[in-house]
Structure 1
Amino acid sequence: MVPTLDVIFSQTSTPLTPKQADFLAQANQQGGGDHDTAQRPRDSQPGLVPQDRTGLAPQAQRATSVNAPEPTQTRVVTSRRGEQAVPTPQPNPQTDPLSPAEAQRIQHDAEMARLAAEVHLRSEQYAKRPNRKFVSASTREYAYANYLRAWVNRAERVGNLNYPDDARRRRLGGKVVISVGVRRDGSVESSRVLISSGVPLLDDAALRVVQLAQPFPPLPKTKDDVDILQVTRTWLFLPGGELHDDR
Protein backbone atom coordinates (compact mmCIF):
# COMPACT_ATOMS: atom_id res chain seq x y z
CA MET A 1 0.00 0.00 0.00
CA VAL A 2 1.33 3.40 -0.93
CA PRO A 3 1.34 5.83 2.01
CA THR A 4 -0.78 8.95 1.54
CA LEU A 5 -0.50 12.44 2.95
CA ASP A 6 -3.68 14.15 4.16
CA VAL A 7 -3.44 17.94 3.86
CA ILE A 8 -6.21 20.25 5.02
CA PHE A 9 -6.71 23.83 3.90
CA SER A 10 -7.36 25.85 7.04
CA GLN A 11 -9.55 28.96 6.77
CA THR A 12 -8.23 30.46 10.06
CA SER A 13 -4.87 30.60 11.87
CA THR A 14 -3.55 31.13 15.43
CA PRO A 15 -0.21 32.72 16.55
CA LEU A 16 0.71 29.71 18.74
CA THR A 17 2.17 26.56 17.28
CA PRO A 18 0.38 23.48 18.60
CA LYS A 19 2.57 20.93 20.40
CA GLN A 20 0.98 18.04 18.55
CA ALA A 21 -0.58 18.45 15.14
CA ASP A 22 -3.40 16.20 14.13
CA PHE A 23 -3.50 17.35 10.48
CA LEU A 24 -1.17 19.09 8.03
CA ALA A 25 -2.29 22.54 6.89
CA GLN A 26 -0.88 25.73 5.31
CA ALA A 27 -1.18 27.64 8.67
CA ASN A 28 -1.06 26.91 12.40
CA GLN A 29 -4.45 26.54 14.10
CA GLN A 30 -5.09 25.74 17.76
CA GLY A 31 -7.79 23.15 17.93
CA GLY A 32 -10.99 23.55 19.86
CA GLY A 33 -14.45 22.10 19.99
CA ASP A 34 -16.28 19.60 22.14
CA HIS A 35 -15.18 16.26 20.57
CA ASP A 36 -12.81 13.82 22.37
CA THR A 37 -11.15 12.70 19.14
CA ALA A 38 -9.64 14.73 16.33
CA GLN A 39 -12.21 15.79 13.80
CA ARG A 40 -11.56 16.99 10.30
CA PRO A 41 -12.17 20.73 10.11
CA ARG A 42 -15.31 21.66 8.17
CA ASP A 43 -16.66 24.86 6.72
CA SER A 44 -18.82 26.82 9.09
CA GLN A 45 -21.47 26.99 6.39
CA PRO A 46 -20.81 24.35 3.77
CA GLY A 47 -21.79 25.27 0.26
CA LEU A 48 -23.96 23.32 -2.02
CA VAL A 49 -22.20 20.55 -3.84
CA PRO A 50 -23.54 19.55 -7.22
CA GLN A 51 -24.99 16.07 -7.16
CA ASP A 52 -24.71 13.74 -10.07
CA ARG A 53 -28.16 12.58 -11.05
CA THR A 54 -29.32 10.63 -13.98
CA GLY A 55 -31.77 12.46 -16.17
CA LEU A 56 -32.19 15.17 -18.73
CA ALA A 57 -31.59 18.82 -18.14
CA PRO A 58 -34.72 20.88 -18.76
CA GLN A 59 -34.73 22.46 -22.13
CA ALA A 60 -34.68 26.23 -22.19
CA GLN A 61 -38.01 27.48 -23.46
CA ARG A 62 -38.27 30.58 -25.52
CA ALA A 63 -40.93 33.01 -24.37
CA THR A 64 -43.82 33.19 -26.78
CA SER A 65 -46.48 35.83 -26.98
CA VAL A 66 -50.13 34.91 -27.17
CA ASN A 67 -52.57 37.25 -28.79
CA ALA A 68 -54.82 37.95 -25.83
CA PRO A 69 -58.31 39.33 -26.52
CA GLU A 70 -58.72 43.01 -25.98
CA PRO A 71 -60.04 43.71 -22.50
CA THR A 72 -63.63 44.85 -22.26
CA GLN A 73 -63.92 48.40 -21.07
CA THR A 74 -65.62 48.54 -17.73
CA ARG A 75 -66.82 51.37 -15.61
CA VAL A 76 -66.12 51.08 -11.90
CA VAL A 77 -68.75 52.37 -9.52
CA THR A 78 -67.50 52.85 -5.99
CA SER A 79 -69.85 52.45 -3.07
CA ARG A 80 -69.49 51.90 0.64
CA ARG A 81 -69.86 48.17 0.23
CA GLY A 82 -67.14 47.83 -2.38
CA GLU A 83 -66.57 48.22 -6.06
CA GLN A 84 -68.85 46.96 -8.74
CA ALA A 85 -67.90 46.81 -12.39
CA VAL A 86 -70.66 48.02 -14.65
CA PRO A 87 -70.22 47.24 -18.34
CA THR A 88 -70.15 50.26 -20.57
CA PRO A 89 -73.31 50.23 -22.69
CA GLN A 90 -72.51 49.21 -26.21
CA PRO A 91 -73.61 51.62 -28.93
CA ASN A 92 -76.67 50.61 -30.83
CA PRO A 93 -76.08 49.55 -34.38
CA GLN A 94 -76.65 52.34 -36.80
CA THR A 95 -79.88 52.20 -38.73
CA ASP A 96 -80.64 53.61 -42.08
CA PRO A 97 -82.08 57.13 -41.98
CA LEU A 98 -85.82 57.41 -42.48
CA SER A 99 -87.14 58.72 -45.72
CA PRO A 100 -89.12 62.00 -45.61
CA ALA A 101 -92.35 60.09 -46.23
CA GLU A 102 -91.70 57.67 -43.36
CA ALA A 103 -90.73 60.49 -40.99
CA GLN A 104 -93.91 62.39 -41.90
CA ARG A 105 -96.03 59.28 -41.35
CA ILE A 106 -94.50 58.68 -37.91
CA GLN A 107 -95.04 62.31 -36.94
CA HIS A 108 -98.65 62.15 -38.15
CA ASP A 109 -99.33 58.97 -36.14
CA ALA A 110 -97.85 60.54 -33.01
CA GLU A 111 -99.97 63.66 -33.45
CA MET A 112 -103.14 61.60 -33.92
CA ALA A 113 -102.35 59.59 -30.79
CA ARG A 114 -101.84 62.81 -28.82
CA LEU A 115 -105.14 64.25 -30.04
CA ALA A 116 -106.99 61.03 -29.23
CA ALA A 117 -105.57 61.03 -25.70
CA GLU A 118 -106.55 64.69 -25.26
CA VAL A 119 -110.11 64.06 -26.44
CA HIS A 120 -110.39 61.08 -24.09
CA LEU A 121 -109.13 63.14 -21.16
CA ARG A 122 -111.56 65.97 -21.87
CA SER A 123 -114.42 63.49 -22.14
CA GLU A 124 -113.56 62.04 -18.74
CA GLN A 125 -113.26 65.49 -17.22
CA TYR A 126 -116.59 66.53 -18.69
CA ALA A 127 -118.25 63.39 -17.37
CA LYS A 128 -116.89 64.13 -13.90
CA ARG A 129 -118.05 67.74 -13.93
CA PRO A 130 -120.84 68.45 -11.47
CA ASN A 131 -124.31 69.26 -12.76
CA ARG A 132 -124.35 73.04 -12.41
CA LYS A 133 -127.38 75.30 -12.84
CA PHE A 134 -127.14 79.09 -13.21
CA VAL A 135 -129.82 81.32 -11.72
CA SER A 136 -130.15 85.07 -11.40
CA ALA A 137 -132.74 87.76 -10.70
CA SER A 138 -134.50 86.90 -13.98
CA THR A 139 -135.13 83.27 -12.98
CA ARG A 140 -138.86 82.52 -12.90
CA GLU A 141 -138.87 78.80 -12.13
CA TYR A 142 -141.03 78.27 -9.08
CA ALA A 143 -138.64 76.05 -7.07
CA TYR A 144 -135.63 78.25 -7.65
CA ALA A 145 -137.55 81.51 -7.33
CA ASN A 146 -138.54 80.63 -3.78
CA TYR A 147 -135.04 79.46 -2.97
CA LEU A 148 -133.49 82.67 -4.30
CA ARG A 149 -135.83 84.75 -2.16
CA ALA A 150 -134.67 82.96 1.01
CA TRP A 151 -131.04 83.16 -0.15
CA VAL A 152 -131.20 86.92 -0.76
CA ASN A 153 -132.89 87.60 2.57
CA ARG A 154 -130.13 85.77 4.42
CA ALA A 155 -127.37 87.57 2.50
CA GLU A 156 -128.89 91.02 3.15
CA ARG A 157 -129.37 90.34 6.85
CA VAL A 158 -125.78 89.10 7.35
CA GLY A 159 -124.40 91.91 5.17
CA ASN A 160 -126.09 94.70 7.13
CA LEU A 161 -124.99 93.18 10.44
CA ASN A 162 -121.38 93.04 9.22
CA TYR A 163 -121.24 96.20 7.11
CA PRO A 164 -117.64 97.50 7.02
CA ASP A 165 -117.20 100.37 9.50
CA ASP A 166 -114.63 102.09 7.30
CA ALA A 167 -117.05 102.20 4.36
CA ARG A 168 -119.83 103.57 6.56
CA ARG A 169 -117.58 106.19 8.12
CA ARG A 170 -116.27 107.32 4.74
CA ARG A 171 -119.76 107.06 3.23
CA LEU A 172 -118.55 104.86 0.42
CA GLY A 173 -121.05 103.46 -2.05
CA GLY A 174 -121.00 101.24 -5.13
CA LYS A 175 -122.49 98.30 -7.05
CA VAL A 176 -120.94 94.83 -7.00
CA VAL A 177 -121.96 91.90 -9.25
CA ILE A 178 -121.07 88.67 -7.49
CA SER A 179 -121.32 84.98 -8.46
CA VAL A 180 -121.66 82.32 -5.75
CA GLY A 181 -121.65 78.53 -6.20
CA VAL A 182 -123.84 76.74 -3.62
CA ARG A 183 -123.66 72.98 -3.05
CA ARG A 184 -126.62 70.77 -2.29
CA ASP A 185 -126.11 71.11 1.45
CA GLY A 186 -126.01 74.93 1.25
CA SER A 187 -122.22 75.27 1.68
CA VAL A 188 -120.32 77.63 -0.60
CA GLU A 189 -118.30 75.98 -3.34
CA SER A 190 -116.91 79.20 -4.85
CA SER A 191 -117.40 82.95 -4.89
CA ARG A 192 -115.95 85.69 -7.08
CA VAL A 193 -116.62 89.25 -8.17
CA LEU A 194 -117.83 89.46 -11.77
CA ILE A 195 -118.08 93.26 -11.97
CA SER A 196 -116.13 95.38 -9.52
CA SER A 197 -117.57 98.43 -7.78
CA GLY A 198 -114.31 100.25 -8.31
CA VAL A 199 -113.77 100.31 -4.55
CA PRO A 200 -111.66 97.35 -3.33
CA LEU A 201 -113.07 97.75 0.17
CA LEU A 202 -116.62 97.12 -1.07
CA ASP A 203 -115.56 94.19 -3.30
CA ASP A 204 -113.85 92.52 -0.36
CA ALA A 205 -116.89 93.21 1.83
CA ALA A 206 -119.17 91.40 -0.65
CA LEU A 207 -116.98 88.27 -0.62
CA ARG A 208 -116.80 88.41 3.16
CA VAL A 209 -120.61 88.55 3.45
CA VAL A 210 -120.86 85.34 1.40
CA GLN A 211 -118.50 83.49 3.75
CA LEU A 212 -120.28 84.75 6.87
CA ALA A 213 -123.74 83.87 5.51
CA GLN A 214 -123.01 80.22 4.74
CA PRO A 215 -124.38 77.69 5.03
CA PHE A 216 -127.34 78.81 2.97
CA PRO A 217 -130.55 76.75 2.85
CA PRO A 218 -130.10 73.33 1.17
CA LEU A 219 -130.93 73.22 -2.53
CA PRO A 220 -134.46 72.22 -3.47
CA LYS A 221 -135.00 68.77 -4.92
CA THR A 222 -135.75 69.05 -8.62
CA LYS A 223 -135.90 66.72 -11.59
CA ASP A 224 -132.62 68.05 -13.03
CA ASP A 225 -130.77 66.87 -9.89
CA VAL A 226 -128.50 69.88 -9.56
CA ASP A 227 -125.14 69.45 -7.81
CA ILE A 228 -124.19 73.14 -7.64
CA LEU A 229 -126.48 76.15 -7.97
CA GLN A 230 -124.60 79.12 -9.41
CA VAL A 231 -126.22 82.28 -8.03
CA THR A 232 -125.48 85.64 -9.66
CA ARG A 233 -126.61 88.74 -7.78
CA THR A 234 -126.07 92.51 -7.84
CA TRP A 235 -125.47 94.10 -4.46
CA LEU A 236 -125.77 97.79 -3.72
CA PHE A 237 -123.60 99.30 -1.00
CA LEU A 238 -125.30 102.57 -0.06
CA PRO A 239 -123.37 105.55 1.37
CA GLY A 240 -125.59 105.44 4.45
CA GLY A 241 -124.13 102.08 5.44
CA GLU A 242 -126.77 99.65 4.07
CA LEU A 243 -126.57 96.62 1.78
CA HIS A 244 -129.43 95.93 -0.65
CA ASP A 245 -129.91 93.25 -3.27
CA ASP A 246 -130.92 94.66 -6.67
CA ARG A 247 -133.97 92.44 -7.12
Structure 2
Amino acid sequence: MSTTTTASSADRFGVTLLFSLIAHGLVIFGIGFSLAKPASHLPSLDVILIQSTNKEKAEKADFLAQSNNSGGGDRDEARRPADPLSSSLPKPTPGTAPRPLEAGAPRPTPQTPAEVLTQRQADFAVTTAREAPESPSLPKPTAQELIEKNAEMAQLAQEYQRQKDSYAKRPKKKFLSANTKEYAYASYLAGWAARIERIGNLNYPDEARRQQLHGDVLLTVTLNKDGSVKRMDVIQSSGHKLLDDAVQRIVQLAAPFPPIPKTNEDIDELYITRTWQFLPGDVLRNR
Protein backbone atom coordinates (compact mmCIF):
# COMPACT_ATOMS: atom_id res chain seq x y z
CA MET A 1 0.00 0.00 0.00
CA SER A 2 2.82 2.38 0.77
CA THR A 3 4.58 1.52 -2.47
CA THR A 4 1.55 2.55 -4.62
CA THR A 5 1.21 5.84 -2.80
CA THR A 6 4.90 6.64 -3.39
CA ALA A 7 4.61 5.95 -7.18
CA SER A 8 1.55 8.22 -7.57
CA SER A 9 3.27 11.08 -5.80
CA ALA A 10 6.35 10.70 -8.06
CA ASP A 11 4.21 10.79 -11.22
CA ARG A 12 2.40 13.92 -10.16
CA PHE A 13 5.68 15.57 -9.28
CA GLY A 14 7.12 14.69 -12.72
CA VAL A 15 4.09 16.06 -14.60
CA THR A 16 4.14 19.24 -12.54
CA LEU A 17 7.85 19.71 -13.22
CA LEU A 18 7.32 19.26 -17.00
CA PHE A 19 4.58 21.90 -17.22
CA SER A 20 6.67 24.22 -15.07
CA LEU A 21 9.62 23.93 -17.46
CA ILE A 22 7.38 24.56 -20.48
CA ALA A 23 5.87 27.67 -18.86
CA HIS A 24 9.26 29.08 -17.97
CA GLY A 25 10.53 28.39 -21.51
CA LEU A 26 7.64 30.32 -23.05
CA VAL A 27 8.28 33.27 -20.78
CA ILE A 28 12.04 33.25 -21.38
CA PHE A 29 12.04 32.88 -25.21
CA GLY A 30 8.86 34.97 -25.87
CA ILE A 31 7.21 32.30 -27.96
CA GLY A 32 3.55 33.04 -28.71
CA PHE A 33 0.77 31.76 -30.93
CA SER A 34 -1.60 33.72 -33.16
CA LEU A 35 -4.31 32.83 -35.71
CA ALA A 36 -3.26 33.19 -39.45
CA LYS A 37 -5.39 35.61 -41.44
CA PRO A 38 -6.88 34.21 -44.67
CA ALA A 39 -5.60 35.60 -48.05
CA SER A 40 -7.59 38.51 -49.38
CA HIS A 41 -7.68 37.03 -52.98
CA LEU A 42 -6.28 34.10 -54.89
CA PRO A 43 -3.37 34.65 -57.37
CA SER A 44 -4.42 35.04 -61.04
CA LEU A 45 -2.66 34.65 -64.44
CA ASP A 46 -3.02 37.55 -66.91
CA VAL A 47 -3.09 36.30 -70.55
CA ILE A 48 -3.73 38.60 -73.56
CA LEU A 49 -5.44 37.23 -76.68
CA ILE A 50 -3.79 38.61 -79.84
CA GLN A 51 -5.16 38.54 -83.39
CA SER A 52 -1.85 38.27 -85.27
CA THR A 53 1.15 36.02 -84.86
CA ASN A 54 4.58 35.47 -86.39
CA LYS A 55 7.44 32.99 -86.17
CA GLU A 56 9.77 35.34 -84.29
CA LYS A 57 10.00 34.70 -80.56
CA ALA A 58 10.60 37.72 -78.34
CA GLU A 59 13.71 37.46 -76.17
CA LYS A 60 12.06 39.42 -73.37
CA ALA A 61 8.28 39.36 -73.43
CA ASP A 62 6.23 42.08 -71.74
CA PHE A 63 3.00 40.06 -71.57
CA LEU A 64 1.71 36.53 -71.92
CA ALA A 65 -0.40 35.55 -74.95
CA GLN A 66 -1.65 32.42 -76.71
CA SER A 67 1.08 32.65 -79.44
CA ASN A 68 4.37 34.38 -80.20
CA ASN A 69 4.23 37.88 -81.62
CA SER A 70 7.29 40.12 -81.88
CA GLY A 71 5.55 43.40 -82.64
CA GLY A 72 6.14 47.09 -82.21
CA GLY A 73 4.34 50.17 -81.07
CA ASP A 74 4.48 53.93 -80.82
CA ARG A 75 5.49 54.19 -77.11
CA ASP A 76 8.76 53.65 -75.28
CA GLU A 77 7.27 51.90 -72.24
CA ALA A 78 5.36 48.63 -72.40
CA ARG A 79 1.58 49.07 -72.09
CA ARG A 80 -1.09 46.46 -71.99
CA PRO A 81 -3.22 46.49 -75.18
CA ALA A 82 -6.70 47.82 -74.49
CA ASP A 83 -8.32 47.70 -77.97
CA PRO A 84 -11.31 45.38 -78.36
CA LEU A 85 -10.92 42.17 -80.32
CA SER A 86 -11.41 42.46 -84.07
CA SER A 87 -13.85 40.30 -85.97
CA SER A 88 -13.94 38.85 -89.50
CA LEU A 89 -16.94 41.01 -90.41
CA PRO A 90 -16.29 44.53 -91.74
CA LYS A 91 -17.23 47.40 -89.43
CA PRO A 92 -18.51 50.81 -90.45
CA THR A 93 -16.07 53.71 -90.53
CA PRO A 94 -15.78 55.32 -87.07
CA GLY A 95 -17.73 58.53 -86.89
CA THR A 96 -19.92 57.76 -89.92
CA ALA A 97 -23.48 56.68 -89.30
CA PRO A 98 -24.66 53.71 -91.36
CA ARG A 99 -26.90 54.62 -94.25
CA PRO A 100 -29.83 52.43 -95.25
CA LEU A 101 -29.56 50.90 -98.71
CA GLU A 102 -32.41 51.36 -101.13
CA ALA A 103 -33.69 48.49 -103.23
CA GLY A 104 -32.29 48.35 -106.76
CA ALA A 105 -35.55 47.32 -108.40
CA PRO A 106 -38.00 50.13 -109.22
CA ARG A 107 -41.17 50.41 -107.23
CA PRO A 108 -44.18 48.81 -108.87
CA THR A 109 -46.52 51.29 -110.49
CA PRO A 110 -50.25 50.84 -109.96
CA GLN A 111 -52.29 49.73 -112.96
CA THR A 112 -54.00 52.55 -114.82
CA PRO A 113 -57.75 52.33 -114.50
CA ALA A 114 -58.39 53.69 -118.01
CA GLU A 115 -57.56 51.50 -121.03
CA VAL A 116 -56.08 53.03 -124.19
CA LEU A 117 -57.12 51.67 -127.58
CA THR A 118 -54.79 51.80 -130.59
CA GLN A 119 -55.29 51.03 -134.27
CA ARG A 120 -52.90 50.17 -137.08
CA GLN A 121 -54.34 52.55 -139.70
CA ALA A 122 -55.70 56.03 -139.19
CA ASP A 123 -58.32 57.88 -141.20
CA PHE A 124 -56.00 60.78 -141.93
CA ALA A 125 -52.27 61.35 -142.29
CA VAL A 126 -50.08 64.35 -141.78
CA THR A 127 -47.32 64.95 -144.33
CA THR A 128 -44.29 66.99 -143.43
CA ALA A 129 -41.81 68.32 -145.93
CA ARG A 130 -38.19 67.60 -145.15
CA GLU A 131 -35.99 70.61 -145.06
CA ALA A 132 -33.13 70.22 -147.52
CA PRO A 133 -29.76 71.56 -146.39
CA GLU A 134 -28.68 74.65 -148.18
CA SER A 135 -25.68 74.06 -150.45
CA PRO A 136 -23.56 76.96 -151.56
CA SER A 137 -23.75 77.69 -155.24
CA LEU A 138 -20.50 76.85 -157.03
CA PRO A 139 -19.25 78.96 -159.89
CA LYS A 140 -19.62 77.29 -163.28
CA PRO A 141 -16.36 76.50 -165.10
CA THR A 142 -15.49 78.55 -168.12
CA ALA A 143 -15.07 77.15 -171.62
CA GLN A 144 -11.30 77.39 -171.39
CA GLU A 145 -11.26 75.38 -168.15
CA LEU A 146 -13.45 72.67 -169.70
CA ILE A 147 -11.12 72.36 -172.68
CA GLU A 148 -8.05 72.08 -170.44
CA LYS A 149 -9.70 69.46 -168.21
CA ASN A 150 -10.79 67.35 -171.17
CA ALA A 151 -7.28 67.48 -172.59
CA GLU A 152 -5.81 66.41 -169.26
CA MET A 153 -8.23 63.47 -169.02
CA ALA A 154 -7.35 62.35 -172.54
CA GLN A 155 -3.65 62.53 -171.74
CA LEU A 156 -4.09 60.44 -168.58
CA ALA A 157 -6.16 57.85 -170.46
CA GLN A 158 -3.51 57.55 -173.16
CA GLU A 159 -0.73 57.20 -170.57
CA TYR A 160 -2.66 54.49 -168.71
CA GLN A 161 -3.22 52.58 -171.96
CA ARG A 162 0.47 52.82 -172.80
CA GLN A 163 1.48 51.47 -169.40
CA LYS A 164 -1.04 48.64 -169.73
CA ASP A 165 0.33 47.64 -173.14
CA SER A 166 3.91 47.82 -171.87
CA TYR A 167 3.09 45.61 -168.89
CA ALA A 168 1.31 43.10 -171.12
CA LYS A 169 4.44 42.80 -173.26
CA ARG A 170 6.66 42.04 -170.23
CA PRO A 171 7.33 38.33 -169.58
CA LYS A 172 5.64 36.82 -166.55
CA LYS A 173 8.24 35.63 -164.07
CA LYS A 174 8.21 32.96 -161.34
CA PHE A 175 10.84 32.66 -158.60
CA LEU A 176 11.56 29.27 -157.03
CA SER A 177 13.75 28.26 -154.11
CA ALA A 178 14.12 25.23 -151.87
CA ASN A 179 11.11 26.42 -149.82
CA THR A 180 8.53 26.24 -152.64
CA LYS A 181 5.27 24.47 -151.73
CA GLU A 182 3.33 24.37 -155.01
CA TYR A 183 3.08 20.79 -156.22
CA ALA A 184 3.74 21.45 -159.92
CA TYR A 185 6.81 23.61 -159.33
CA ALA A 186 8.07 21.52 -156.37
CA SER A 187 8.19 18.35 -158.44
CA TYR A 188 9.79 20.23 -161.35
CA LEU A 189 12.43 21.71 -159.01
CA ALA A 190 13.25 18.29 -157.51
CA GLY A 191 13.78 16.71 -160.94
CA TRP A 192 15.78 19.72 -162.17
CA ALA A 193 18.17 19.59 -159.17
CA ALA A 194 18.58 15.80 -159.37
CA ARG A 195 19.52 16.07 -163.05
CA ILE A 196 22.25 18.64 -162.37
CA GLU A 197 23.63 16.56 -159.48
CA ARG A 198 23.90 13.49 -161.70
CA ILE A 199 25.63 15.38 -164.51
CA GLY A 200 27.90 17.20 -162.05
CA ASN A 201 29.14 14.04 -160.32
CA LEU A 202 29.83 12.44 -163.73
CA ASN A 203 31.72 15.54 -164.89
CA TYR A 204 33.35 16.68 -161.67
CA PRO A 205 36.05 19.29 -162.47
CA ASP A 206 39.52 17.67 -162.59
CA GLU A 207 41.31 20.85 -161.50
CA ALA A 208 39.13 21.11 -158.37
CA ARG A 209 39.90 17.45 -157.60
CA ARG A 210 43.65 17.97 -157.97
CA GLN A 211 43.72 21.15 -155.85
CA GLN A 212 41.28 19.70 -153.29
CA LEU A 213 39.03 22.78 -153.54
CA HIS A 214 35.76 22.80 -151.60
CA GLY A 215 33.04 25.40 -151.09
CA ASP A 216 29.42 26.48 -151.62
CA VAL A 217 28.08 28.46 -154.59
CA LEU A 218 24.69 30.24 -154.46
CA LEU A 219 23.49 30.31 -158.09
CA THR A 220 20.29 31.62 -159.75
CA VAL A 221 19.38 30.01 -163.09
CA THR A 222 16.78 31.64 -165.39
CA LEU A 223 14.87 29.23 -167.63
CA ASN A 224 12.72 30.07 -170.64
CA LYS A 225 9.28 28.57 -171.14
CA ASP A 226 10.73 25.75 -173.23
CA GLY A 227 13.30 24.80 -170.53
CA SER A 228 16.36 26.38 -172.14
CA VAL A 229 18.79 28.38 -169.99
CA LYS A 230 18.47 32.13 -170.47
CA ARG A 231 21.07 33.32 -167.98
CA MET A 232 22.94 32.40 -164.77
CA ASP A 233 23.95 34.71 -161.90
CA VAL A 234 26.30 33.87 -159.01
CA ILE A 235 24.59 35.37 -155.94
CA GLN A 236 27.27 34.27 -153.46
CA SER A 237 30.69 33.05 -154.51
CA SER A 238 32.51 30.09 -153.00
CA GLY A 239 35.73 32.05 -152.84
CA HIS A 240 37.21 30.06 -155.72
CA LYS A 241 36.54 31.20 -159.29
CA LEU A 242 37.25 27.68 -160.47
CA LEU A 243 34.23 26.33 -158.53
CA ASP A 244 31.98 29.25 -159.59
CA ASP A 245 32.72 28.60 -163.25
CA ALA A 246 32.49 24.80 -162.81
CA VAL A 247 28.92 24.84 -161.52
CA GLN A 248 27.79 27.05 -164.44
CA ARG A 249 29.46 24.67 -166.88
CA ILE A 250 27.66 21.71 -165.24
CA VAL A 251 24.28 23.48 -165.65
CA GLN A 252 25.03 24.05 -169.34
CA LEU A 253 25.89 20.34 -169.74
CA ALA A 254 22.56 19.36 -168.12
CA ALA A 255 20.53 21.69 -170.39
CA PRO A 256 18.09 21.77 -172.02
CA PHE A 257 15.62 20.99 -169.28
CA PRO A 258 11.96 19.95 -169.59
CA PRO A 259 9.49 22.77 -170.42
CA ILE A 260 8.12 24.85 -167.55
CA PRO A 261 4.92 23.36 -166.08
CA LYS A 262 1.71 24.91 -167.40
CA THR A 263 -0.35 26.53 -164.65
CA ASN A 264 -2.96 29.26 -164.41
CA GLU A 265 -0.16 31.81 -164.06
CA ASP A 266 1.13 31.03 -167.58
CA ILE A 267 4.65 32.27 -166.74
CA ASP A 268 7.34 32.99 -169.34
CA GLU A 269 10.49 32.85 -167.19
CA LEU A 270 11.34 30.62 -164.24
CA TYR A 271 14.03 31.71 -161.73
CA ILE A 272 15.56 28.89 -159.65
CA THR A 273 17.97 29.71 -156.80
CA ARG A 274 19.89 26.89 -155.15
CA THR A 275 23.15 26.37 -153.23
CA TRP A 276 25.63 23.94 -154.82
CA GLN A 277 28.21 22.31 -152.53
CA PHE A 278 31.56 20.89 -153.65
CA LEU A 279 32.21 18.47 -150.79
CA PRO A 280 35.24 16.40 -149.79
CA GLY A 281 35.37 13.15 -151.71
CA ASP A 282 34.66 14.96 -155.00
CA VAL A 283 30.88 15.01 -154.48
CA LEU A 284 28.43 17.68 -155.74
CA ARG A 285 25.28 18.27 -153.66
CA ASN A 286 22.56 20.92 -153.61
CA ARG A 287 20.54 22.36 -150.75
Q: TM-score, normalised by structure 1?
A: 0.49
Name the one with the larger helix percent: 2
More strand by share: 1
Q: Output the TM-score relative to the length of structure 2.
A: 0.43
Relative contact order higher in (CA < 8 Å, ≥ 6 apart):
1
